[in-house]
Structure 1
């Protein structure tokens, strides 16, 4: 079961990269990637719940795969959350928001998920507060633009919840 959990974590880490290839159809990166990533994490979590704690190479592989899956796997989920949010009508507004006012979000999201995953796996959950505080302070001047705060909250919550879910699966393998 440990091997299955590690393979599923690897799929969660690699699937967004493979399904977002330049030649792949658009629907694959938009909807197939988040579905595959979520299913891979579900398989990893089920397998992790039925195994004994890992040691040695399996422990190192678990840590590396958790950080990789948290970092890359969250990107398609954040984009899917943005697409779902854009489909919801705003109260009193018939306009659809544009792509969003916040720039650099993909790189910031990758770094955010990696930092959250590393702090959880290191047993330092306070690190999540540090990451969110730094991100909030850095983005504060931009949050006054239309739809910026909505994009900030949706992206941050999706990223952090994904990283926590992946690391929870990793912790199930470790302990």
Structure 2
């Protein structure tokens, strides 16, 4: 295969991995939030869906700026737990606020995973996952409700990036 064609496949795979990953991850998170065990939606979200059955208003709302905006539940002992001790679902405002910067982390993750596969360094993916997990550990430890969004988003992102990477490797073979 000629060098320009190889370069085109590599650049195309990296672009597809980054650009196509965001809609895929968003779709998976949206589907997961519809699950019966996805957590409690915020009161405002319920009213927004009642007034807007198509869900267009909810799709355009911005996440809360701080984790304190997440719903607070009362623990059996009467104390108020951490902001996301109770999950508000993978698409909840609380999970979005805690996992700020997730879009950029996902872009870099997909770029790195696809790049590792194109370079034939499958072991590099373990390093990527470890760095991401360790980097998010303090936030996830303090806000267990956000872990659902983290796990679902990470797995969807990894599967997409790996699929694109392996597809590009197959084209180059």
The TM-score normalised by the length of structure 2 is 0.66
The answer to whether residue 99 in structure 2 is matched with residue 109 in structure 1 is no
The answer to whether residue 67 in structure 2 is matched with residue 120 in structure 1 is no
Bigger helix share: 1
2:14 alignment partner in structure 1: 67
Pairing partner for 2:170 from 147, 169, 172: 172
2:3 alignment partner in structure 1: 56
Pairing partner for 2:30 from 74, 79, 83: 83
Cα distance in 2, alignment partners of residues 173 and 140 from structure 1: 37
Long gaps (5+) in structure 1: 1-53
Long gaps (5+) in structure 2: 42-87
Q: Deviations over 1:24-72 (max 9, x none)?
A: xxxxxxxxxxxxxxxxxxxxxxxxxxxxxx3321111001111111111
Q: Secondary structure at the match of 1:147?
A: helix
Return the offset for 1:116: 0.5
RMSD in angstroms over aligned alpha carbons? Answer: 1.4
Structure number with larger C-alpha Rg? 2
| Alignment check: 8 A CA contact 2:113 2:165 kept | no
Q: Deviations over 1:116-170 (max 9, x none)?
A: 1111101101110000000000000111314211111111101110011111111
Count the aligned residue pairs.
Answer: 120
